[in-house]
Amino acid sequence: MSEYLIVCRNMTHAQRAERLFRRSGRKAAVKKIKSGLGREGCSYAVFMTGADWQDTVRYLRENNIEPLAAFAVMDCGMYEELCL
């Protein structure tokens, strides 16, 4: 099953994104991520399982949340950055 991290500007945006996904029936969880994955100091991300990341990013943008980055979680635990 595919797993993704969608990096948000701050905790508030991550929480808003999580609520949007839950209302639409998707599973999501807010996670604090390593500073190397975020663009600005410590960042927060929405962890998604099994969702199509492109549809996820489009859905966020339609609801006025601009993601900073998106990563696929690899089987070995490493992250692969996806092109927004």
Domain boundaries, the chain: 3-82
pLDDT tens-digit readout, 2-32: 788 888 888 899 999 999 888 888 888 998 8
- What is the reported pTM? 0.79
In 3D space, the residue among 38, 9, 8 whose CA is nearest the CA of residue 21 turns out to be 8
Q: Which CATH class is domain 3-82?
A: alpha beta
Residue 1 has pLDDT above 60, yes or no: no
* Torsion 50-55-57-59 (CA) sign: negative
Q: Are 44 and 10 in contact (CB under 8 A)?
A: yes
Picking from 40, 44, 41, 50, the residue whose alpha carbon sits closest to that of residue 73 is: 50
- The answer to whether the CB of 5 falls within 8 A of the CB of 67 is no
